[in-house]
Structure 1
Amino acid sequence: MASGKIFISYRREDTSGESGRLKDKLEQVFGQENIFYDVETLEAGLNFDQSIAKALGESKVLLAMIGPHWLKVVDSKGVSRLQKPDDWVRKEIAEALKRELRVIPVLVNGAEMPDPEDLPEELKELSLKHAQELTSSRWNYDVGELTKVLEKIITKKPQPTPDPIRSDNPQRPVVPPVPQPKSWWAKNYLWMIGGLVGFLILIGMCVPDDLDTYPEYQEQASTDFDQEANIIPESASGTDLHENDQNSGQFIPDISGEWDLYLNGQKVSVLAFSQNGADVAYYEYDLLDTRTAEGQGKVAGTDLLVDYYNTTLNVNGTISMSTDDDGLTWYGIINFPVSGFTGTVNIRKTNP
């Protein structure tokens, strides 16, 4: 398989949009450095004629983009552009044929191959070439068929080393699990249960038989007992608690797993969280399962604050959220200080 570039020849008045769209697709397969597209590839101040000749000298394939108006485009005097010797499209294709490059006519949006009598002498060979079609209604399929042809001629760009694969989704790398330390309650629950039983026995021995005749005392004793036994308040009973901070007594919600991220009310991505107590880390994936961002931060009670780094756009920001439904949903803002952009965000458990 030979290396080289793909030269895209087109008329701005005819196939500019389709040519740019095709260029983007081909860059994903063969790399930006292997695509010559004059609008973006030529540097300012260079001799256009010499640059085109140099680019064709480095190319293996020329794609002649032919739309419905390819033959009909005229200059300010009404003369057909293709019939003018100094027309750049004519020069590009003629030079490619002269160099014996692979010239592939690409028929866009129902265009037909031009008849030999409609072409200048130096382009008549073009009418003998087998063409590829590109249509808007089946764009991905048509581009795929063209790519198969080009892969036989042009070297594809190296594929990046894949991340570890997750069994439930082979397209998405695994978020490295964070070791989960035992909570204070998990370490000491046997002692607490033993102390509670002993306390109940002591209460039974000390409380007088006629205690129920003193309702005020009975209510106070129950309150003191709840506080002394460190019973979880009823308001936290619906929360999936990850860890109990022994020093602050603050319960930390468990946010590990996958959450749908909504920006200004529109679902835009998925956050995959891992958690170690109050410390959290995450990867973000767009709706095509491509990793686009990552970050880390802390969760404490009803507050969640994480750094945000977009690996696609190379920008930093922060996400600040809180919850009012025991950690089932989080609401807040995302902020990019450099650009000044601020948007409202919320996350919901992907598979609650």
Structure 2
Amino acid sequence: MANGKIFISYRREDTSGESGRLKDKLEQVFGQENIFYDVETLEAGLNFDQSIAKALNDSKVLLAMIGPHWLKVSDSTGTKRIQKPDDWVRKEIAEALKRELRVIPVLVNGAEIPDSDELPDDLKELSLKHAQELTSSRWNYDVGKLTEVLEKLVTKKPEPTPEPRPIPRPFVPPISKPKSWWARNYLWALGGIVGFLILVGMCVPVEEYPEQEYIQPTEDLPVTGLIDPNPDIRQVDPKGSQIYKSLELKKENNSAPAYVPNYAGKWWLREDGIRSGYFDIVQSGNEFSFKYYLFNVEVGRGSGRFEENILYTTYFEMDENTGNFSFAFQSLNGGQTWEGQTQANQQISNATLSRN
């Protein structure tokens, strides 16, 4: 237990998505080896009870992820799991309190710390702990505050050592070779050739042609002279069919609709490289409506437009305790993927949309 680990305790029916998202953030700061997350950390075939006890023995802090359904989850008989002695979440937190580890309740999606009379005897101390909130609308800010507390208990992973930059070699100009006669005198040679051609052209006689007179055709006189180089369009085409066809062709070319990609369906949202939910988009030409989900829970809905290759929101409504939200994305590959930004409560994050 040189540096200690961070033990993440959660109930899968309650905060599975948020716990996985928090794990990814903490691994970036403390390293994957310092995070215990039972789904990925335990190997197949190991004794779960013994593995949990060993992980707690190597840990310095336990994060108790508590969502809106943490107390309400029941088994097939209707008994609340938190009241059962063999409930793993209860065993993890009770064992951490017994070992006097730092236990931090993490309240997710508006959950509140349970009252003492709602908890079994071995968990009543949990209601006295100072909690840390995590909300979807200010996720990065809340995780940053939690990370500041954890940095006092667990050592951060070392920064990578930058590779030494090579010492630049001094520039040595190449030694120029002596120019040939042609390279030194080609302008004079070309000038002489051009002057000779001009002199020859002046010596060739120019054949003159008599000026021809334009003859206006009449009913008695057939067209035998020159054609008028600037005819009156009203005489050549009295119905104006040529002008009409020309205008009609330009109208068709100018009225061609702009290309609109197919962007309907389910799009996964990643903010700063971390998956944080998905949009379910219903497309109607340039207009669209959508619903916003955080780990299969609908938390918002709205509408928007596709204009000048940009997909952006014109209206967005979020549920209670989730705050304001908007987005704008642009595609450089015909709607296969999208890149842009999201804004939650005036906090901007780089984001992408992808179907997988």
Please report the TM-score for the alignment, with normalisation by the length of structure 2: 0.52
Distance 1:138 1:89 in 2: 27
- After superposition, give the CA deviation of every residue in 1:82-124 in whole Å (9 maximum; x if it has no partner): 0000000000000000111000000001000000000000000
**SS of residue in 1 equivalent to 2:29:** helix
Give the aligned residue type for 1:99: R
Distance 1:16 1:204, change over 3 A: closer
The alignment status of 1:197 with 2:187, answered yes or no, reads yes
Give the aligned residue type for 2:62: L
Alpha-carbon deviation of 1:204?
A: 5.6
Match of 1:58?
Answer: 58
Match of 2:155?
Answer: 155
1:101-180 alignment, distance < 5 Å: 101-162=101-162
Match of 1:269?
Answer: none
Match of 1:20?
Answer: 20
**SS of residue in 1 equivalent to 2:138:** helix
**SS of residue in 2 equivalent to 1:113:** coil
Q: Which has the larger share of strand? A: 1
Distance 1:91 1:157 in 2: 29
- After superposition, give the CA deviation of every residue in 1:196-217 in whole Å (9 maximum; x if it has no partner): 22312442675572335569xx
- After superposition, give the CA deviation of every residue in 1:296-325 in whole Å (9 maximum; x if it has no partner): xxxxxxxxxxxxxxxxxxxxxxxxxxxxxx
Give the aligned residue type for 2:20: G
Distance 1:99 1:212, change over 3 A: farther
Alpha-carbon deviation of 1:3?
A: 1.2
Distance 2:96 2:164 in 1: 45
1:81-100 alignment, distance < 5 Å: 81-100=81-100
Give the aligned residue type for 2:193: I
1:196-275 alignment, distance < 5 Å: 196-203=186-193, 206-207=196-197, 209-212=199-202
Structure 1: gaps spanning 5 or more residues: 166-173, 216-263, 267-286, 290-332, 334-342, 344-352
Query: Which structure has the larger Rg?
Result: 2
Percent of residue pairs identical: 71
Distance 1:192 1:130 in 2: 89
Match of 1:284?
Answer: none
Alpha-carbon deviation of 1:195?
A: 3.1
- After superposition, give the CA deviation of every residue in 1:20-64 in whole Å (9 maximum; x if it has no partner): 000000000000000000000000000000000000000000000
Distance 1:204 1:79, change over 3 A: closer
Distance 2:181 2:111 in 1: 83
Alpha-carbon deviation of 1:148?
A: 0.3
Distance 2:74 2:25 in 1: 30
**SS of residue in 1 equivalent to 2:70:** coil
Match of 2:5?
Answer: 5
Give the aligned residue type for 2:111: A
1:304-315 alignment, distance < 5 Å: none
Distance 1:199 1:143, change over 3 A: same
**SS of residue in 2 equivalent to 1:133:** strand
Alpha-carbon deviation of 1:179?
A: 10
Distance 2:43 2:15 in 1: 22
Give the aligned residue type for 2:28: Q
Structure 2: gaps spanning 5 or more residues: 206-260, 264-270, 274-332, 337-356
Alpha-carbon deviation of 1:76?
A: 0.5
Distance 1:82 1:20, change over 3 A: same
Distance 2:181 2:107 in 1: 80
**SS of residue in 1 equivalent to 2:143:** helix
Distance 1:191 1:135 in 2: 80
**SS of residue in 2 equivalent to 1:197:** helix
- After superposition, give the CA deviation of every residue in 1:164-193 in whole Å (9 maximum; x if it has no partner): 89xxxxxxxx9x99999999xx98999776
The alignment status of 1:35 with 2:35, answered yes or no, reads yes
Please report the TM-score for the alignment, with normalisation by the length of structure 1: 0.53
CA RMSD of aligned residues (A): 4.0
After superposing on structure 2, the runs of 4+ consecutive aligned residues of structure 1 that deviate more than 4 Å are 176-183, 186-193, 204-208, 212-215
Distance 1:200 1:149, change over 3 A: same
